[in-house]
Structure 1
Amino acid sequence: MRNSSNMVFLTFFGSTLPDRVNIGPINLRVRRFFSRPLQCFLCYGYGHGKSSCKKASRCGNCSVLDSHSEEHCNAAAYCFH
Structure 2
Amino acid sequence: MADVPVRATLNTSKGVVLHPDIKTCKEEEFLKKVSGFTFTKHIQIRRGEETIPTNTFILTFDSPTPPTQIKAGYVKLNVKPYVTTSMRCFKCHRFGHGREKCRRQDPISGKCGKVSHVADNCKNDPHCVNCRGNHAASD
TM-score, length-scaled by structure 2: 0.50
Distance 1:10 1:31 in 2: 10
Question: Alpha carbon RMSD of aligned pairs, Å?
Answer: 2.0
Which consecutive segments of 4 or more residues in structure 1 shift more than 4 A?
Answer: 2-6
The alignment partner of 2:100 has SS state of helix
1:59 aligns with: 109
Please state which structure has a larger fraction of its residues in helix. 2
Letter in 1 for 2:122: C
Number of residue pairs matched by the alignment: 80
- What is the distance in 2 between the residues matched to 1:18 and 1:78? 39
Greater relative contact order (Cα < 8 A, sep 6+): 2
In the alignment, which of 66, 74, 80 is matched to residue 123 of structure 2?
Answer: 74
User: Unpaired segments of 5 or more residues in structure 1?
Assistant: none
Correspondent of 2:78 among 22, 25, 29: 29
Indicate how the Cα distance of structure 1 residues 16 and 44 shifts in structure 2: closer, same or farther if over 3 A, else same.
closer
Shift of 1:15: 2.0
Q: How many Å apart are 1:37 and its aligned residue?
A: 1.3
